[in-house]
Structure 1
Amino acid sequence: MINYGKTFIRKYDITLFLTVIVLIALGIVMVYSTSAMVSIVKYGVSYHFVAREVVYVIISAFFIWFLMKNDYHIFKSFYKIILLGIIISMILLFVPHVGMSVGGSKRWIDFKFFSVEPSEFLKIFFIVYLANFLEKKRDMLNNNRYSLIFIAPLVFMGFLDILLLKEPNFGTASILFFMTIIMLFAGGVSILYLIITTIIGSVAAYFLIFTVTYRMNRILAFLHPFHDKTGIGFQIIQSMYAFARGGLYGVGLGNGKEKLFFLPTPYSDFIFSTVGEELGFIGVFIFISLYLILGYRGLKIAINAPDLFGTYLAYGITFVIVLSAFINIGVVLDFLPTKGLALPFISYGGSSLLAACIGIGILLNISSQSIKRKNI
């Protein structure tokens, strides 16, 4: 292990590790609760979806173990190859019989026995790219003569967002944009530059939303869901009913009604609605608290990282996981328009879970190399 002149804490962040274990365990429970009836109707057994989820968990656990044991600096050597593979995969989505369309979006490559969503892995490895860029260009970013070099990752991000919008995947494109702004801010880019960039991005988002019918409908459903109860407002109305029925203590695990063919695919994007219905406000509070703990531990790891690459990497991974979680929660509570984003560690799906666990494995490895600081 490299010696940076400080005393190293030669152990992993156990709080982060246990928090993720609890979230994954709760995810398995909620996937079974929300998918059992759908599974019986489609496949004749109640455990089809949860069995697949357990397989995803086993694979993801291996990646956490592997990455927490291997120095995070290894990504500097081959992240470009991984990013290139992800970009090629995103292009292949539009090749006939390769890309799989679900709900009008081509986000998955169909391998017959399983599917992969490249955009989930894009978020993690774009963070690696940004962390490496910010570390290498730190001095230039703080030099007025070369400060505009920050435009380079913005151009790359714009190219990736074009591919995401083509799927279409506006939610992930938005996360990529905000993640880039936050990491550039952490890297020392001028606030004025970032404000201008955010304004330009907001104008682009305005036109992307209000010139596309289905996106406009999502805004209308968000603002006035009861104006079209059986149409564009149906899903969010059912979600609100779920939380209303749950009250303080919930109706009991497995006893939810909204998952019974009222909420479309209740085991994926809207799984948190069932959490609210079956576990009530107390259950919602526990889930939100777990994500806040994850965020706190991730930021602490970033602050204590032994180098700038580790700091930026930890900031980015923590931000993307926690932001994705709170966007999903905001959507199901009708605080935000529908985005089509999974709830990390909870929603059914292998790509989302594996990508999040890759991020956690990296975080845990950074934590094992953390340096002791006072008052942290």
Structure 2
Amino acid sequence: MKIDKRHLLNYSILIPYLILSVLGLIVVYSTTSATLVQIGASSFGSVLNQGIFWLISLIAISFIYKIKLNFLKKRQFIFFVIAIEVVLLLLSRFVGARVNGAHGWLRLGPISIQPAEYLKIILVWFLAYTFSRRQEEIEVYDYQSLTKNQLIPRALNDWRWISLILIGLVAILPDLGNATILILTALIMVSVSGIAYRWFSTILMTIVAFASVILGSIWVMGVDRVAKIPVFGYVAKRFSAFFNPFEDLSGAGHQLANSYYAMSNGGWFGLGLGNSIEKRGYLPEAQTDFVFSIVIEEFGFVGASLILALLFFLILRIILVGIRAKNPFNSMMALGVGGMMLMQTFINIGGISGLIPSTGVTFPFLSQGGNSLLVLSVAIAFVLNIDANEKRDSLYRELEDTYHG
């Protein structure tokens, strides 16, 4: 008996994804149309570009859902994709366009590729493959099976070296926002690999302590001195705004201060769709990094909370797929995707609210950015496929037990 995967589609993931994607198109139009009209361009320019990426995403979801995922477990294919990603990251650093102080984009005619975005799903895939192959060792030797009792890995093909090199290439763009997401995603992947909880706690406390030392050092040294450090000079402005955004309203603190104004303007129920004041030239990057500030201004605290609740529901359903999965690779892949989306959401919200320094990270689905939407869609497609395969295998086991019983 053959079970068709079409009947196993997880609508509790697909429907929230579709709603958030459509909301994203509406928000992109709302945040970009006025600015485009001011420069004499079509008010639909940005939303049409986003719409094209969404159509490509839907085609990708349809294709990925139907295929067998065994190719994801082939070592040669994984390292081939990683090699291409390394080349793209190097090209974006030394050849790519410079935007807001960072090299992160490769322009191919009208299309811009952001390799750092694609690295998110590649890192989850690579670590899920690596850790799933060591489950028997992890059960016996715990965390030591991942490190071979080596504080510093001796071989360049060690997962720690590969992860460090990939994240380092993103950091030197410099794209510290995506680098932070990658670090936290890697931490999540290590924690769900089967190791004891105490190791996760130790790693997390180490990262918190390291981040505290960095922030404290910048505060003691002063932002002006940090700004003189090669490569990371522009990042110092973000830290300056984090410490006191109202000290330099015309400079470093301009974005964060206007983000506060936007959220204050929104109140409980918002000014109404399209009626934002801050998006009309007051809040730079209103369609990308600070899009949720505009969402709060137009939809209010109540509307923005409902959108955030829908996103968290989607993430929790993805995590639930990982928890229920019997196959270690499938489980870690789904948990990694859910963790990656959760980290991106928290970092964006933290940045626009001043809880952490602004990192330039986009808000999932709502921010303008075709590459981000495509990566999130591909990640959703993998989770849908994994969930369908797990359900089908479970049904086959039940049928077999019934037959033999």
- Kindly provide the CA deviation profile for residues 80-139 of structure 1, in whole angstroms up to 9, marking residues without a partner as x: 2222211110011233xx311100100011112111000111010111111111110112
Provide the residue aligned with 2:79 in structure 1: 80
Q: Equivalent residue for 1:259?
A: 279
Report what 1:166 is aligned to: 172
Unaligned runs of 5+ in 1: none
Q: Equivalent residue for 1:154? A: 160
Tell me the SS of whatever aligns to 1:369: helix
The alpha-carbon deviation at position 243 of structure 1 amounts to 0.8
CA offset digits 1:320-364 (Å, max 9, x no partner)? 112212221221122221011111111111110110100000011
Tell me if 1:230 matches 2:236: no
**SS at 1:85 equivalent:** helix
- CA change 1:167–1:179 in 2 (3 A) is same
Indicate conservation of the 8 Å contact 1:154/1:180, yes or no: no
Shift in CA distance, 79/101, structure 1 to aligned 2, threshold 3 Å: same
Alignment partners' CA distance in 1, 2:70 and 2:326: 11
The answer (yes or no) to whether the contact 1:236–1:334 under 8 Å persists in 2 is yes
- The one-letter code sitting in structure 1 at the alignment partner of 2:23 is L
1:347 match: secondary structure: coil
Does the residue aligned with 2:260 lie in a helix, a strand or coil? Answer: helix
Note the C-alpha offset of 1:22. 0.4
Q: In the alignment, which of 14, 34, 39 is matched to residue 37 of structure 1?
A: 34
Matched, 1:183 2:182: no
Matched, 1:337 2:357: yes
For 2:89, the equivalent position in structure 1 comes to 90
Q: Residue 235 and residue 146 in structure 1: after superposition, are their counterparts in 2 closer, same or farther (change >3 A)?
A: closer
- Aligned CA distance change for structure 1 residues 191 and 154 (closer, same or farther; 3 Å): farther
User: Is it true that 1:132 corresponds to 2:139 in the alignment?
Assistant: no
1:325 maps to 2:349: no
Question: Higher relative CO (CA 8 A, sep ≥ 6), structure 1 or 2?
Answer: 1
| Kept after mapping to 1: 8 A contact 2:170/2:179 | yes
Deviation of 1:148 after TM superposition, in Å, equals 4.8
- SS of the residue aligned with 2:164? helix
Give me the CA root mean square deviation: 2.4
Within a 5 Å distance, the mapping from 1:289-328 to structure 2 comes to 289-328=309-348
For residue 62 of structure 1, the aligned residue among 44, 59, 64 is: 59
When residues 199 and 296 of structure 1 are mapped into structure 2, their CA distance, relative to the original with a 3 A threshold, is closer
Alpha-carbon distance between aligned partners in 2 of 1:217 and 1:100, rounded to the nearest angstrom: 21
Q: Deviations over 1:118-170 (max 9, x none)?
A: 01110101111111111101122233398253463232221112111110011
Is the contact made by 1:305 and 1:369 (CA closer than 8 Å) also made in structure 2?
Answer: no
The structure whose Rg is larger is: 2
Residue 113 of structure 2 is aligned to residue 107 of structure 1: no
| Aligned counterpart, 2:117 | 120
Normalised by the size of structure 1, how large is the TM-score?
A: 0.91
